[in-house]
Structures are given as structure tokens and as C-alpha cells.
């Protein structure tokens, strides 16, 4: 696998950090990525990216502290406003791609490495769920009037099960139990496949349609990035 460049700004004086980060980002080609490591939440940097490089980047939190924060920053292959279907569907694909890596590490008995990689998956999926529950679902419910018994009601219930399966997988990895870990990963993958399909085919397009304008959809994406 190719090595992803990591920029650790913890040793840099504060006045040099943002200029170095933006210089590295501006040098990226389409779909290239680097990982930023910092000693605090980089949310002010996210807001600066949103203001100064709007629609040009993907922002994926890999580690959320308290000692270290790590964010994967990718230069998008296309620029401009986005809708929920593109943004959240792309995050599904990013997260799905991590699971085979965890399986491989478990099969090779590299349990600390598997736990670390799954922790990045778990961090990302937890934030994805939070973005839906705190930003997407309320927006959908206000725009459509659909609450109890609607798509968001079903998705919230499924999120509870997904979080349980993540905890189960992490416990099996911590115990270095390959059989239990693979079984937990199978259960999580199967649940996510069905859940994600319903979101991508029903909930996300309905949200985009209800919001209507590109500007309203892009504002929702920005709010979800900041969760």
C-alpha cells in the first residue's frame, strides 16, 4: 500500500502551522491526500478551509484526541458545491474500504495494527452517524415534516445496532480473538451494507430534493463537516 504523507505540526510554532498546511494542500494533485497531526481540535482550520478553499477538499477525522488529533485532508477531483448524496455516499465508500484492511491484519495476527486501523474506522463512522443525527436528520424532518415512522426514525434505530457492533468488534480485537473479530466484522459489514443502501437510495436523495438549491445543500454539507 502507498504511504500517506503525514504533516505533524505539533513541533511548529503556531504562526507557521496554517501556512504550511495550506502550502501542502495547494501542492496536491486531484485525489491526493495527506494526514494532519495536531495537539488540539483543528476545527478553526476547517472553517478556514471552508472559507478559503470552498468545495475543493474532503475532511475526514481519524483521531479526535485528547492527546492527538489526526485529520485526513484530500484534494477533490472536482470542485464546487455538494449535496448530501455525494458527500455522505463518498464517506460510506471511504469507510467501507478500511474494513478489508482490518480483516487482512487480523488474518495475519497483527492485532495492535488492526485495532489502530479499526479505531480510525470507528472514529469516522461515529462522526458520520453524529453528522446525520445532529444535522441531516433535523434538516430532513423540518423540510419534509416526516418524523415518527419516517426514514430518520428507522435510521436512528439502526444506528444503535451499528454502534453495538462496533463496540463488539473493538472488544474482539482488543482480546486478540481472530475468530470473534472476523465474525463481528462480518456482522458489522452486513448491517452497514443494508443500512447504507437505504440511506443512499432513499434518505439522501429525499433530503437533496427537499432542500432544492445547491446553496442550501452545500450549507448542510458544511455543517456536517464541522460535527
Tell me phi and psi for residue 73, to 5 degrees. -115, 120
What per-residue confidence (pLDDT) applies to 2?
59
Query: What is the distance in angstroms between the CA of the first residue and the CA of the last residue of the chain?
Result: 30
pLDDT digits (tens, 9 = 90+) for 27-40: 999 999 999 999 98
Q: State the maximum Cα–Cα separation within the chain, in Å, rounded to a whole number.
A: 52
pLDDT digits (tens, 9 = 90+) for 56-106: 999 999 999 888 999 999 999 988 999 999 999 999 999 999 999 999 999
Query: In the numeric block, which cell numbers belong to residue 159?
Result: 444506528
pLDDT digits (tens, 9 = 90+) for 139-197: 999 999 998 889 999 999 999 999 999 999 999 999 999 999 999 999 999 999 999 99
Are 140 and 134 contacting, i.e. CB atoms less than 8 angstroms apart?
Answer: no
What per-residue confidence (pLDDT) applies to 147?
86
pTM, entire model: 0.94
Amino acid at each position: 500500500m502507498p504511504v500517506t504523507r503525514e504533516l505533524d505540526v505539533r513541533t511548529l510554532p503556531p504562526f507557521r502551522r496554517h501556512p504550511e498546511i495550506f502550502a501542502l494542500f495547494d501542492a496536491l494533485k486531484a485525489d491526493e491526500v495527506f494526514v494532519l497531526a495536531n495537539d488540539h481540535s483543528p476545527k478553526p482550520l476547517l472553517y478556514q478551509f471552508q472559507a478559503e478553499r470552498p468545495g475543493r477538499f474532503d475532511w475526514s477525522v481519524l483521531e479526535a484526541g485528547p492527546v492527538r488529533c489526526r485529520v485526513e485532508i484530500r484534494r477533490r477531483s472536482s470542485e464546487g458545491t455538494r449535496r448530501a448524496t455525494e458527500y455522505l455516499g463518498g464517506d460510506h465508500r471511504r469507510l467501507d474500504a478500511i474494513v478489508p484492511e482490518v480483516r487482512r491484519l487480523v488474518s495475519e495476527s497483527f492485532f495492535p495494527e488492526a485495532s489502530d486501523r479499526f479505531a480510525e474506522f470507528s472514529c469516522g463512522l461515529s462522526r458520520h452517524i453524529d453528522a446525520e443525527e445532529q444535522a441531516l436528520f433535523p434538516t430532513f424532518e423540518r423540510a419534509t415534516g416526516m418524523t415518527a415512522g419516517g426514514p430518520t426514525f428507522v435510521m436512528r434505530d439502526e444506528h444503535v445496532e451499528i454502534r453495538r457492533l462496533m463496540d463488539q468488534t473493538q472488544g474482539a480485537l482488543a482480546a486478540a480473538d481472530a475468530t470473534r473479530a472476523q465474525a463481528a466484522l462480518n456482522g458489522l459489514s452486513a448491517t452497514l451494507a443494508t443500512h447504507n443502501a437505504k440511506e443512499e437510495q432513499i434518505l439522501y436523495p429525499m433530503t437533496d430534493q427537499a432542500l432544492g438549491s445547491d446553496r442550501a445543500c452545500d450549507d448542510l454539507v458544511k455543517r456536517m463537516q464541522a460535527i
